[in-house]
A and B are shown apart, each in its own frame.
Chain A
Amino acid sequence: MSSSARRQQKPPPGASEIGRRVSKVFSKLDAKSAAGGRGLTDLAIRNLFILPTIAFLIIFNIFPLIYSLGFSFYDYSAAGNAPPVFVGLRNYKDLLDSPYIWSNFSITAKYVLVSVGGQVIVGFGIAVLLNRAIPSKGLITTLLLLPMMMSAAVVGLFWQLLYSPSWGPINYIFGLGDFPWLSDSTVALYAVAITDIWMWSPFVMLLSLAGLSAVPKHLYEAAAIDRASGWYTFTRITLPLVAPLLLIAIIFRTMEAFKTFDIAYVMSVQPTTELIAIRLYKLAFQEWQTGRSCALAYIVLIMVLAITNIYVKYLNQVRAR
């Protein structure tokens, strides 16, 4: 083994747990293995597999990320011919001073809360109902998963028809007359959130079901022997054991809900349903304020990272328990 190869295999000082594990796996690779005999060393094969992915990531993820960070400090329009003008933090300051942007953030926060909350309640509820011996359980589960396999734009258009005040079945079923779900500024956001709940509850249900089926049966038997109530069993056995998977579902759904664009864009044009992703789209591709939209994208990114970090910390605490 060459000295340079050894240097590559040595874990870097201060590497994370994952990094150490990866290095450990790589250290087991034999540069002169059977594959090496056929002309390629294990190391070369590893590089062959990894390098295209790394190159892809750098070209399509890392580079645009850094490039757009640079643009966020410039007054620049990609559709114009004027050169970018360095403005420092002015784009960030202007955005954070804008009442419109704060209104978009407040709408998004409300949407995330209602949508993710609803998905957890509905998804977990269905999972609890399905976590028992019922006929055609597999078929029912598959059918329940269908909404999340559809395109969000199609779902949006479909629900727009369902909400139609004149002939939509929702008003007909609930006897609501001509209630304008999507034109009423106070209700439109909730109408969009209900659609998102319908579409993504199955995702929460799926993860919850996986968690529920992994709860050891003997715990329930012990609880039954101790004559524990249903509520006690649920709060002391079911919920704590499902919590890690449920939290993962919440993390994913929160991140996605924060970035929601398609459903809201298709369903409603209300200023009260203008989520931050829609505002970002308008800034970037309708108004062509490239510098400012890059700054807004970074503000959104930081917020999503912060929220996710809080969740992950909580998830680690739950797991430690």
Chain B
Amino acid sequence: MRRGIAMLLAAAGLAFALANTARAEELTIFWAEWDPANYLQELVNDYAKETGVKVTVETTPWTDFQTKTFREFAAKGDAYDLVVGDSQWLGAGSTQGHYVDLTDFFKKHNLENVFLPATVAGYAEYPIGSHKYWAIPLEGDANGWAYRKDWFEDSKEKAAFKAKYGYELGVPKDYKQLRDIAEFFYRPDQKRYGIAIYTDNSYDAIAMGVEQTIFSYGGDLGNYATYKVNGIVNSKQAIEGLEAYHELYKFAPPGWGKAFFLEDNQAITEGLAAMSMNFFAFFPALANPTTNPHASGTGFFANPAGPTGAHFAALGGQGISIVSYSKKRDAAMKFLEWFVKDSTQKKWGELGGYTCSKAILESPEFRKATPYNDAFYQSMLMVKDFWATPEYAELLDQLNQRLYPYIVDGKGTAKESLDGVEADWTRTFNKYKRYSQK
């Protein structure tokens, strides 16, 4: 009997040890549920073949992504070893201890020169200019535009446009042309509309659409180093930018008050709009004839310049960070060493991921590989992001609350909206004692 019990205990011990060994050879990456996550899973399968370490890309819908990630951080849980986090999370991730400091890793692999500067600043560095890095740029992305090339190239449309506006119909070079084209194609009687823009205010949709317009009009959201917002977020240029965005909404399809990436892609696939704003990561679906019946007639362009020539695009995309609560930090670090290799980055780009590797992005092969890659490359050279401070979620919500009534309902003026944003943000920065730290 005693011998039996001893054998049972030994077997249990062995099983426990084996289970732990098996777990040590697995890594979990957490990301949002979208196509690039599937491409990443395909990519990391190669890592498993090479090293025997199984890597699983676990996903959750976008609407739940931020909440679920930070819930895990709050519990200091080790369910995820790596997280592909939004650029705005850098402040919270780094200052609240959720991300592992990757500064030495960055320097060791000379990553400041490997990746495009904008992606290093946007996805990895916090605070800005500190040269402290918390993530490896993984999925580069920016806000661009899809358009109905077939409508634009129609000879009758071209003639009618020239007669009305006095210049050729083509890819808009600035916001004035963008507005004119949107107005030109706005034909509610034909169920055809000019433009599809972001209006959803539940996370960062409307903020991304507005910020790139404000940036391109020469405005800004504030001084990210000093937290000064007074006279910046409500400057004359910022007000003009917001007015331009409100003007564009007039040419959107009816009921376009809750639109983000899904709806904006539908505007093209359903033949609703002539132009549609979206992140480049969602454009593969528009270039694919099985998901877009108008794929052959769909083109892509980078965000046009503002009236003074300022030229910006809102930064999307994410960097990959090691979760500080992971028990497999060394294994995660080894995975990142594999991920930053040129060969891995090349494969990542081939699979459909938007690599941030400067050499690959600049190569003619990459820029010609898809109808949208060149516009993507141009956009990545002019990206600019929202605040990445730990309190970014409050700032986003306050911005949404102020912008939405003006843009969608036409309530109040652009100045009143942005004055309200300035007051809210100043109060928030005071609450977090941002000014006294300076």
Stretch at the interface among A10-18, A234-242, A285-293, A310-318: A285-293
Q: A79-B74, A269-B200, A286-B393 are in contact. Are A180 and B255 (CB under 8 A)?
A: yes
> Across the interface, which residues of A come within 8 angstroms of B98, CB to CB?
79
Assess whether A183 is in contact with B256, with CB atoms less than 8 Å apart.
yes
B401 within 8 A of A: yes
Please name all residues of chain A whose beta carbon is closer than 8 Å to the beta carbon of B70 when the two chains form the complex: 79, 285, 288
Contacting residues, chain A, for B191 (C-beta < 8 A): 166
B79 contacts partner chain A, Cβ-Cβ < 8 Å: no
Interface residues of B in 370-413 (CB under 8 A from A): 390-391, 393-394, 397, 400-401, 404-405, 408-409, 411
Q: How far is the CA of A78 from the CA of B76 in the complex (A)?
A: 10
Is A37 interfacial (CB 8 A cutoff)? no
- Whether the pair B258, A81 counts as a contact (CB closer than 8 A) is no
Residues of B63-120 contacting chain A, CB below 8 A? 66-67, 70-71, 73-74, 92, 96-98
Given pairs A180-B255, A269-B201, 15 additional interface contacts (CB within 8 A): A79-B96, A165-B254, A165-B255, A178-B254, A183-B199, A183-B257, A184-B257, A185-B408, A268-B258, A269-B200, A269-B258, A271-B405, A282-B397, A286-B66, A287-B394
Q: Are A185 and B255 in contact (CB under 8 A)?
A: no
| Nearest chain A residue, comparing its CB with the CB of B410 | A185
Enumerate A240-278 residues with CB–CB distance to B below 8 Å: 268-272
Query: A79-B96, A182-B255, A269-B404 are contacts. A286–B73 as well, Cβ < 8 Å?
Result: no
A178 with B393: in contact, given A81-B96, A183-B408 (CB under 8 Å)?
no
Q: Does B430 reach chain A (CB closer than 8 Å)?
A: no
A307 and B258 alpha carbons, distance in the complex (Å) = 33
A164 touches B (CB below 8 Å): yes
User: Can you list 19 residue pairs at the A/B interface with Cβ under 8 Å?
Assistant: A77-B96, A79-B92, A80-B92, A80-B390, A82-B96, A178-B254, A180-B257, A183-B258, A184-B257, A185-B409, A268-B258, A269-B200, A269-B201, A269-B202, A271-B201, A285-B67, A286-B397, A287-B397, A289-B394
- Is B61 part of the contact surface with A, judged by Cβ < 8 Å? no
Which residues of chain A (151-193) have a CB below 8 Å from chain B? 163-166, 178, 180-185
Q: How far is the CB of B412 from chain A (nearest CB, A)?
A: 12
Complex Cα spacing A314 to B319, Å: 59
Task: Please count how many residues in chain A sit with their CB below 8 Å of the partner chain's CB atoms.
Answer: 29
Is A102 located at the chain interface by the 8 A CB criterion? no
Binding site for B on A (CB under 8 A): 77-82, 100, 163-166, 178, 180-185, 268-272, 282, 285-289
> Contact check: which of B66, B71, B401 meets A271 at CB < 8 Å?
B401
> Does B353 sit at the interface, judged by CB under 8 A?
no
A111 to chain B, nearest CB (A): 18
| Complex interface bits, B298-311 against A, C-beta within 8 A gives 1, otherwise 0 | 00000000000000
Q: Any chain A CB within 8 A of the CB of B253? A: yes
Q: How far is the CA of A166 from the CA of B188 in the complex (A)?
A: 10
In the assembled complex, the CB of B410 is this many whole angstroms from the nearest CB of chain A, namely 10
Instruction: Decide: A100 and B411 in contact? CB cutoff 8 A.
Output: no
Closest to B75 in A: A78
- A270 vs B405: C-alpha distance when bound (angstroms): 8
Give the bracket for the number of chain B residues in contact with chain A.
35 or more
User: Is A287 touching B257 in the complex (CB atoms < 8 A)?
Assistant: no
B residues sitting closer than 8 Å to A (CB atoms) are 66-67, 70-71, 73-74, 92, 96-98, 188, 191, 199-202, 253-258, 272, 390-391, 393-394, 397, 400-401, 404-405, 408-409, 411
In the complex, residue of chain B having the shortest beta-carbon distance to the beta carbon of A94: B431
Nearest neighbor of B260 in chain A, beta-carbon distance: A269
Q: How far is the CA of A269 from the CA of B66 in the complex (A)?
A: 17
Nearest CB of A to B383, in Å: 24
Cross-chain contact A285 with B71 (CB below 8 angstroms): yes
A287 to B201, CA, bound (A): 15
Nearest-neighbour CB distance to chain B for A171, whole angstroms, equals 9
What residues of chain B lie closer than 8 Å to A180, measured between beta carbons?
Answer: 254-257
Q: Tell me whether B393 and A287 are in contact (CB under 8 A).
A: yes
Expressed in whole angstroms, the Cα–Cα distance for A182 and B73 within the complex equals 35
The answer to whether B255 touches A181 (Cβ under 8 A) is: yes
Chain B contacts for A181, CB-based, 8 A? 255
Contact in complex: B255, A164 (CB < 8 Å)? yes
Max chain B Cβ within 10 angstroms of own Cβ: one of A180, A181, A183? A183
A289 to B70, CA, bound (A): 12
The CA of A163 and the CA of B70, in the complex, are separated in Å by 34
The answer to whether B74 touches A271 (Cβ under 8 A) is: no
Q: Report the minimum CB–CB distance from B24 to chain A (whole Å).
A: 27
Q: B404 to chain A: which residues have CB within 8 Å?
A: 269-271
Contact B401 A178 (CB under 8 A): no
Instruction: Check if B257 sits within 8 Å of A270, measured CB to CB.
Output: yes
Pair A100/B255 contact, Cβ less than 8 Å: no
Whether B390 and A182, one on each chain, are in contact in the complex, defined by CB atoms closer than 8 angstroms, is no
Task: Assess the A166–B409 pair: CB atoms within 8 A.
Answer: no
Shortest CB distance B206–A (Å): 9
Give me the 9 closest cross-chain CB pairs, A-B, nearest first: A183-B257, A165-B255, A178-B254, A180-B255, A165-B254, A78-B74, A80-B96, A81-B97, A185-B409
Q: How far is the CA of A286 from the CA of B395 in the complex (A)?
A: 11
Complex contacts, A268 vs chain B, CB 8 Å: 258
The closest CB in chain B to the CB of A82 belongs to: B96
> Which among A77, A166, A185 is the interface contact of B254 at CB below 8 angstroms?
A166
**B residues in contact with A81, CB < 8 Å:** 96-97
The complex places the Cα of A181 from the Cα of B67 at a distance, in Å, of 29
Task: Compute how far the CA of A163 lies from the CA of B202 in the bound complex, rounded to whole angstroms.
Answer: 19
